[in-house]
Amino acid sequence: MATASFNMQSVFAAPSGVLKSSRNIRNTNQLLFKRNAPVGVRCMAQGDPIKEDPSVPSTSTSATPPQMPPSPPPPVSKPKVSTKFGDLLAFSGPAPERINGRLAMVGFVAAIAVELSKGENVFAQISNGGVGWFLGTTALLTLASMVPLFKGIRAESKSKGFMTSDAELWNGRFAMIGLVALAFTEYVTGGTLTETRQRKENLRGKQKLMATSKLQALWNHPAGPKTIHFWAPTFKWGISIANIADFQKPPENISYLQQIAVTCTGMIWCRCSTVITPKNWNLFSVNVAMAATGIYQLARKIKYDYVSEAEAAVEIE
């Protein structure tokens, strides 16, 4: 307060020239304040805390422009779908494979159903009025499939859950393969699948009867399992098996007399088995094996005793 009163006294005590100059300064300040931003002036005593007036704008910091929120990205434009007739029915267009697949699925199910109900194959179904049904179904499915395509609606946009457009395509492909395979199988076999299955069952039945009859014939044969003529040659197979096991032994341990006896026994009883009544083919086979193994063992022994020794003598010389 003392400072303010001193300033007021100095103003009253100043000469008139000073008063004029102070008026000019005041006018200049008014012009400057009108041009620039408004500035607030306060008179305060010494030692009072500085309080900022929220109604007076601050000139210490520069005003920052408000930040605008980022503009959203532009929407992704979907590719335009062609609805021209030529583009829809082109080789790589959306219509041909899908229509053919739908026709194949209907045709395969219908062919199997008619075969099971009437027993007619695919070619008989076609000749008995199947052409008209095929043409009518083709026209109906083609029209129903083309109408959404002309409106720009694709099957991919209607895919939900497991009923997707890809699943329909794969089912159609399998149906086309199945229909062709069905027609080819019936053409080769000359009948329907049910007839082919019945023929297979009949053939299996005949084979079982034949096998049963053969087993019965073997059981009731005069040299069958009910007689000694079967079991004696069967146990004789042990000699041939033992001789085969001796193939791994060194040739110097082979006996000439043993292998000659085995070989001669096999040859003699081979002839005997075809002369006696009844003919015993079990005896014939076991003696063929005995003769063959004996000859092989004799060849090993002769090669070791004579051929190998001659080769060793030549090398020494």
Alpha helices (H) along 65-221: 85-88, 96-118, 122-125, 131-150, 165-189, 193-219
- Sign for the pseudo-dihedral over CA of 238, 244, 246, 248: negative
Dihedral, 174, 179, 184, 190 alpha carbons, nearest 10:
140
End-to-end CA distance of the chain: 148
**pLDDT reported for residue 92:** 77
Report the predicted TM-score, pTM, of the whole model to 2 decimal places: 0.37
Closest CA to 150 of 242, 65, 85: 85
**pLDDT reported for residue 241:** 92
**pLDDT reported for residue 266:** 92
Q: Name the CA radius of gyration of the chain, rounded.
A: 57
For residues 192-220, one letter each, b for 16 or more C-beta atoms within 10 angstroms of the residue's C-beta and e for the rest, the string is: bbeebeeeeeeeeeeeeeeeeeeeeeeee
**pLDDT reported for residue 46:** 54
**pLDDT reported for residue 225:** 86
**pLDDT reported for residue 32:** 47
> Which segments in the chain show pLDDT lower than 50?
1-22, 31-37, 56, 58-62
Contact 106, 137 (CB under 8 A): yes
* DSSP letters for 304-315: IIIIHHHHHHHH
In angstroms, the CA 170 to CA 97 distance is 10
Distances (CA, A) of 160 to 154, 167, 252, 316: 13, 11, 83, 91
**pLDDT reported for residue 26:** 53
* DSSP letters for 214-274: HHHHHHTSTTSTTSHHHHHHHHHHHHHHHHHHGGGS-GGG--HHHHHHHHHHHHHHHHHHH
Distances (CA, A) of 55 to 43, 61, 137, 272: 17, 16, 84, 138
Contact 192, 186 (CB under 8 A): yes
